[in-house]
Amino acid sequence: MTVPGTFRTAVESKDLAAITGTLDPAIEFHSPVMVKPYQGRDSVTGLIQVLLEVFEDFHYTDELVGSTPAGRPGRFGGPPAQALIFSARVMGKHVQGLDLIRFNDAGLVTGLTVMVRPLPAAMTLARLVGRRMERHESA
């Protein structure tokens, strides 16, 4: 069973196998710099591998842990949810971001939404990741 903290530890240690072990097979990865979400453990693992290569001096600065809605709007108490705020550089440009992580009842990551700022750094990230993902997917 994965709990909030396991994903963070795996990312901070840049341990791709450990990160993959925290992911639900049907995970969805959303980002404002991608038109469509990445779906499935294999696809998301490939993207995370590229992100681990692209981000320089990546570190989490803050963490928030809560829960997801429990069946009815406005009622929480479902599986855990976690927000991890990070700082990094991409090609020398400073990036701040947030990983919003949703877990299932088994404790695996079912949803990962990443948001980054400022816009110039986000666009650099989008171009760089896009090029690397094209090479990764064609290999």
Distance between first and last Cα of the chain: 32
User: Mind listing the pLDDT tens digit for each residue in 66-110?
Assistant: 766 665 555 556 677 899 999 999 999 999 999 999 988 888 999
Instruction: Give yes or no for a contact between 86 and 53, defined as CB atoms under 8 angstroms apart.
Output: no
pLDDT at residue 111, rounded to an integer: 95
What pLDDT band is residue 5 in, cutting at 50, 70 and 90? confident
pLDDT at residue 68, rounded to an integer: 64
Q: Is the pLDDT of residue 127 over 70?
A: yes
User: Mind listing the pLDDT tens digit for each residue in 40-69?
Assistant: 999 999 999 999 999 999 999 999 887 666
Backbone angles phi, psi at 138, to 5 degrees: -85, -15
pLDDT at residue 105, rounded to an integer: 83
Query: At CB < 8 A and 24+ separation, what contacts does 81-84 make?
Result: 81/4, 82/4, 82/7, 82/8, 84/8, 84/60
**Distance, CA of 94 to CA of 118 (rounded, Å):** 8
Question: Could you tell me which residues come within 8 angstroms of residue 61 by beta carbon, excluding any fewer than 6 positions away?
Answer: 85, 86, 87
pLDDT at residue 77, rounded to an integer: 64
78: which 2 tokens?
A: 């479902």
pLDDT at residue 1, rounded to an integer: 44
Nearest to 88 by CA among 134, 121, 41, 62: 121
Q: Is the pLDDT of residue 36 over 80?
A: yes
- Residue located via tokens 């097979």: 25
Beta bridge partners of 84: 63, 99
